[in-house]
Amino acid sequence: MARATQKLDELAALLERTGGEPQRLEAVRRAQNFRRSWLDLAKVLAEIRSKRRFERWGYTDFFTYCKEELTLKKATVDKLTMSYRALEQHAPQVLTWDGVAKTIPSYEAIDYYAKAMGPSADADAGEDAPAPRPKSRRATPERMDELSSAVFDEGRPVAELRKTFDPIFFPKPKGTEKLGVINKANAAARKLAELLPDIEGLPANQVGALEVQLGKLRTKLDELAEPLKAQVAEARAKARKAQPARASKKLREAEAASEGAPARAPKKAPRVKRASTGD
């Protein structure tokens, strides 16, 4: 039995014996069933996070609670809660699916969809939430419909979504591919230099000569990479500057809604095909 699974089982048994708070026990149970139903876990986590219930259980930080009690990493928790909020905002009908008649998309796919939609208005995300990825101007309504269909109607895995839609929604800055090739070559040269001394039968003078040549090669690769790094960094900085105004506006609206102020009506939910009722 995996350590994380055993820990959750033991904690659930302890809470049952000692009369633990129902929602705390529910969170543990849903963490146990995470692989089967991420949506149930995401729902309770989002509520615990927004209402800061973890403070009543002796934790001062939401992510500490998730890590120590539910054995969930911060990156996973962020994806779960943000994906749930994305469904609430953009595709609330998915929250009613039973996972049988209509398959619920993976939380990774929903997370990708949420980032493609643009900066989230998740009021309880806090400062620890990951920065939104800049969206391309090629993300037209037609392209959004294509992505929506791929996620909700076809249930494509996130790897396939990235392959198909990254060039549209998250195009890499100019120079990124060249920089990637150089970095791979540099890493390969470093690895080869580390392995050479461990290979029996190679003459010491030959190993020494190769190490010198590989060192020179890595120096040259570093020189070639520097201007590309600057170019890519500049492009990413420009893309980030184009996002804050929109993100701040959404955040203000979300905060106003959480305080009881009137908020704008949510965007129209994406088109989702109904499940077939045939045999």
Domain boundary among 146, 171, 196: 171
The larger pLDDT score, comparing residue 30 to residue 18, is at 18
In the chain, the number of structural domains is 2
**Which tokens sit at 25?**
């026990």
Tell me, yes or no, whether 35 and 86 share the same domain. yes
What mean pLDDT comes out for the span 81-110? 84
Query: Count of alpha carbons within 13 Å of 25, Cβ hemisphere only?
Result: 11
| Nearest one of 85, 169, 160 to 134, comparing CA atoms | 169
Four-CA torsion 236, 242, 248, 249, nearest 10 degrees: -150
Segment 217-228, tens digit of pLDDT: 999 999 999 999
Tell me, yes or no, whether 44 and 161 share the same domain. yes
Contact, 111 vs 151, CB < 8 A? no
| Nearest one of 235, 241, 248, 263 to 119, comparing CA atoms | 248
Segment 245-273, tens digit of pLDDT: 444 454 445 444 444 444 444 444 555 55
Q: What's the domain range around 58?
A: 3-171
Domain for residue 187, yes or no? Answer: yes
Domain boundary among 141, 171, 201: 171
What mean pLDDT comes out for the span 53-66? 95
**Which tokens sit at 212?**
């010198």
Domain for residue 153, yes or no? Answer: yes
Tell me, yes or no, whether 47 and 151 share the same domain. yes
**Which tokens sit at 157?**
């895995």
DSSP code at position 97: -
Domain for residue 260, yes or no? Answer: no
C-beta atoms surrounding 44 within 10 Å: 20
Domain for residue 257, yes or no? Answer: no
Domain for residue 211, yes or no? Answer: yes
Segment 135-169, tens digit of pLDDT: 555 678 888 899 999 998 888 999 999 999 998 88
Domain for residue 279, yes or no? Answer: no
- pLDDT on residue 129: 47
Tell me, yes or no, whether 17 and 139 share the same domain. yes
Tell me, yes or no, whether 124 and 15 share the same domain. yes
The larger pLDDT score, comparing residue 87 to residue 242, is at 87
Tell me, yes or no, whether 150 and 187 share the same domain. no
Tell me, yes or no, whether 91 and 126 share the same domain. yes
Residue 72 has pLDDT above 90, yes or no: yes
Domain boundary among 171, 199, 227: 171
Residue 114 has pLDDT above 80, yes or no: yes
**Residue 122: pLDDT band with limits 50, 70, 90:** very low
Using left for φ > 0, alpha for ψ between -120 and 50, and beta otherwise, residue 76 falls in alpha
Tell me, yes or no, whether 89 and 143 share the same domain. yes
Tell me, yes or no, whether 108 and 192 share the same domain. no
